[in-house]
Structure 1
């Protein structure tokens, strides 16, 4: 009898960066376009603002993700280096520390110490990294990967409302950008939820709701600025 399970935890790193980038691209670009349009700006100014926001946002996402994930990677490397030194200088203490971790998870003491010994002989640092520190090989921080995913998906996401603004009639620009951007966000939320094994409807609603809030606030501010300008 076969037993197959499809786990999705390995997707967390790239899925987070991809969804965050695409979501920010749609929300920030559409909000910027709607805000500028609500201020009664010209079509040229609206498109210029949208393009500038798209380029600046993509670069900002890449830099932000790289710095953030690099900091996480530096912390992981520091913890691993500290653990490696401790394993060299305090082998017995580290062995019993690992055994205590397994005992805390319900393993019998005599079995826990045996498992700790076996894992220490096989890969001491790997065992402590995984079970003591919480760092697993498949979930280590990858700054360049996160930066590329974020910048690329932000550009793709931002290009959607920008394309709508370019093709839409001026008198219907705000309505079309807002409605289609919400549709894009709902689709993105649903796809992300499906890839992560979460309820699709909840994922769609959650992303679309916050996108609507962002666009609504920006429209109000843009209209207010257009009145007093």
Structure 2
């Protein structure tokens, strides 16, 4: 007689869902990491574009005034170092200001919640209603959000600020410093390596190639049309180079 299959053991624990479930802290860390990445990518693209255009513009402007390669090297290196430091400092100050503003708003919201929670609850209800939540459920939604994390609910839905997503300015500053330097090296090497008669076309070709690559990268990151973004960056960069070269050539003739 065949024996019956063993029945499941009563009380056997199911696989723990806690091992795979994501906690609010995990989501907060993910938002922070995503904000940091976006901030650094934005600073990197902007820094590289400024490095290519500003260093090329200055170097070509000097080339229009003199053929002495020593002055080209001095001007190019000065533009590279000063521009990279300026971009990094500007990005640090900008992001620091935004971070301080966000943190001050969070602190103020915390104080207002402690002083008058009923009035703040009404403000949250108004903010949620504006997002499209039906009036018949918005009150319960606001209460549920406040029960979970009142400060996060008010800062996120009323002020579009999240404490976990307040980014550090150091990453943006470092991205600007490195990207400006990498972008500026391209036209500097091109103008120093080219023969005197070919400095302008070689530098412009290098700038076009660098800006085209940068335009495609920025379009891919922003999921925008690559052709339009690339054309915009190339036209702007070439316009700056032509203008500075013309000014340099005019000054060279006047001084000479």
Q: Same fold (TM over 0.5)?
A: yes
| Aligned residue number for residue 54 of structure 1 | 80
| Residue of 93, 113, 123 corresponding to 2:139 | 113
| Aligned residue number for residue 69 of structure 1 | 95
Q: Unmatched 5+ residue regions in structure 1?
A: 1-7
Corresponding residue pairs, total? 222
State the 1:11 CA deviation.
Answer: 4.9
- Once the two structures are superposed, the pairs formed by residues 38-187 of structure 1 within 5 Å of their partners are 38-136=64-162, 139-187=165-213
Query: Greater CA deviation, 102-111 or 138-147?
Result: 138-147
State the 1:139 CA deviation.
Answer: 4.8
State the 1:9 CA deviation.
Answer: 7.9
Q: Unmatched 5+ residue regions in structure 2?
A: 1-33
| Aligned residue number for residue 54 of structure 2 | 28
- What TM-score, normalized by structure 1, do the two folds share? 0.92
State the 1:211 CA deviation.
Answer: 0.6
Structure 1 runs (4+) deviating above 3 angstroms are 8-12, 136-139
Distance in 1, Cα, partners of 2:232 & 2:63: 26
Distance in 2, Cα, partners of 1:185 & 1:138: 35
- What TM-score, normalized by structure 2, do the two folds share? 0.82
CA RMSD of aligned residues (A): 1.6
Asked if structure 2 preserves the Cα contact closer than 8 Å seen for 1:185 and 1:204, the reply is yes
Higher-Rg structure is 2
Distance in 1, Cα, partners of 2:150 & 2:35: 24
